[in-house]
Copies of this chain bind each other. A is one copy, B any other.
């Protein structure tokens, strides 16, 4: 409790992770088979062999069963800025980080299987949750920029710059989904996005520093 780090190897922790993973896997399978809105929480619980409330405990909202990378997704840009080498302009750091994410086929920039892409884009609830995540990402970046020496104190400018930069990432994410839906394979998508990313960041004014 005090030493809250009840090591993640404890029986309790392990079982929790197992239960969580099992629920998530079963839910994903059902969603891909039949579509997001046509699977109910009760069905997932039944299929996973747990109580309805257990599903809700692990995933407060149904959308969380699908979009389970929230933390990483939201923090991506703020982290890239915070961890950049001293003296590097913000825009350069984000351009670099984007290229890296594409090279690594990271989900946070839009890499996913076609069925998953369709699942998310065809469901109003999931699309709404994705918008919310983009919004949180932009806010996190704005907070980080406001804490930077260069922008310090000027919150409005920080928010404006964050909107420009996060906006580029968001459009590129949508482009990734579009390409995947159009049937391009991962390698093609990566190639096109690398070039699109370069163009996107060239378009941006040298804002931030």
Contacts and interface: CB of A to CB of B under 8 A. Distances in A.
Interface of A: 128, 131-132, 135, 156-157, 159-161, 163-164, 167-168, 170-171, 174-175, 196, 199-200, 203-205, 207
Contacts of A159: 171, 174-175
B135 A156 contact: no
Contacts of A157: 199, 203
A140 to B, nearest CB: 15
A156 B203 contact: no
Given A128-B131, A167-B163, A156 B199 contact: yes
Given A128-B128, A205-B205, A160 B171 contact: yes
Given A167-B167, A205-B205, A200 B128 contact: no
A175 to B, nearest CB: 6
Task: Give the oligomeric copy count.
Answer: 2
Interface SS of chain A: helix, strand, loop or mixed?
Answer: helix
A156 B175 contact: yes
Contacts of A200: 160
Contacts of A164: 164, 167, 203-204
Given A128-B128, A204-B205, A205-B205, A196 B163 contact: no
Contacts of A175: 156, 159
B156 A163 contact: no
Contacts of A135: 131
A160 B203 contact: yes
A156 B135 CA distance: 21
Nearest to A131: B131
Contact of A163 (B128, B132, B168): B168
Given A163-B168, A167-B164, A203-B207, A196 B132 contact: no
3 closest A-B pairs by beta carbon, nearest first, are A205-B205, A163-B167, A167-B167
